[in-house]
Amino acid sequence: MKRFETIVGAYWRVGVALRHPTAPGLTVQDALSTLNEDIALRPHEHRLRGEMHTLRYDIIEGNNKWREVKRNPDSKLIQFTRN
C-alpha cells in the first residue's frame, strides 16, 4: 500500500469502529496508536491531519458534543467576496 492509502485506511478503520455500533471495536490504545499514522502526512495534507486530530479527541473525550456547542451565540459569519 502507498503511504497516503495507509493513513486514510487508519482513519477509516478507527472512524468506523468509533461511530458505528455494529462495527468491530478497537481498544483505545489500538485506536490512538493507529491514528499516529498521521505523522507521515505532508504539509499540504493538513485537512486529513485535522480530521484525525478531531477523531483522536472524540476518543479521548468519549463524545463529540463539545464540537456542537456554540462558542458565542451572538456571533455572525461574515463572508468576504471579491469584487
CB atoms within 10 A of CB 39: 8
CB 55 within 8 A of CB 11: yes
What ranges do the domains of the chain cover? 3-67
CB 52 within 8 A of CB 35: yes
- Spatial distance between the Cα atoms of 51 and 78, rounded to a whole number of angstroms: 24
CB 17 within 8 A of CB 31: yes
pLDDT of residue 27: 85
pLDDT of residue 17: 87
Q: Would you write out the chain's pLDDT as a tens digit for each of its 83 residues?
A: 598 899 999 999 998 888 887 888 888 888 888 889 888 888 898 899 988 988 888 888 776 565 555 555 555 555 555 55
pTM of this structure: 0.66
pLDDT of residue 58: 82
pLDDT of residue 77: 53
| Contacts with 41 (C-beta within 8 Å, 6 or more apart), sequence order | 7, 48, 49
